[in-house]
Amino acid sequence: MAIKIYHNPRCSKSRKALEVLDESVHDIEVINYLQEGVSDDVLRMGLEQLGFEKFIRTGEDAYKAHVKGQELNETQLMKVLKNHPILMQRPLLVKEDGTCMLGRDVTEVEELVKK
């Protein structure tokens, strides 16, 4: 199984998810999304599969400045996410079949790698 993890090394939940993957998965691509960015395709998948409420970090200053109280269409929201990747919930795990999940719950990450 190949998995991409959109990782923030400063986040304890992201580090823990990466530890679980390192122990069980041989084909891992680690993407430090705050430095490398995120493709439109991945952002779109995250929004579609997880939904706005799970995928967007609403406690960030960038959310309050660029999203809160505004009616953004998909193109506008994607632009905000590209410019402020901190708004993306982490860690995002993307399997080779294109399905994605959040790796915030270690139990769910462990279940993923057992499949």
Question: Residue ranges of the domains in the chain?
Answer: 2-56+88-114
| pLDDT the model gives residue 111 | 85
Q: In terms of C-beta density within 10 A (0-12 exposed, 13-18 middle, 19 or more buried), how is residue 96 classed?
A: exposed
Q: Which fold has domain 2-56+88-114?
A: Glutaredoxin (3.40.30)
| pLDDT the model gives residue 39 | 95
Marked catalytic residue, from 1, 5, 11, 61: 11
For every residue of 95-110, DSSP letters joined together read ETTS-EEE--SHHHHH
| pLDDT the model gives residue 21 | 94
Instruction: Respond yes or no: is residue 11 known to be catalytic.
Output: yes
Beta strands in 10-91 (DSSP E): 27-32
| pLDDT the model gives residue 87 | 97
Low-confidence ranges of the chain (pLDDT < 50): none
CA distances (Å), 111 to each of 13, 98, 105, in order? 16, 17, 10
| pLDDT the model gives residue 84 | 96
| pLDDT the model gives residue 26 | 82
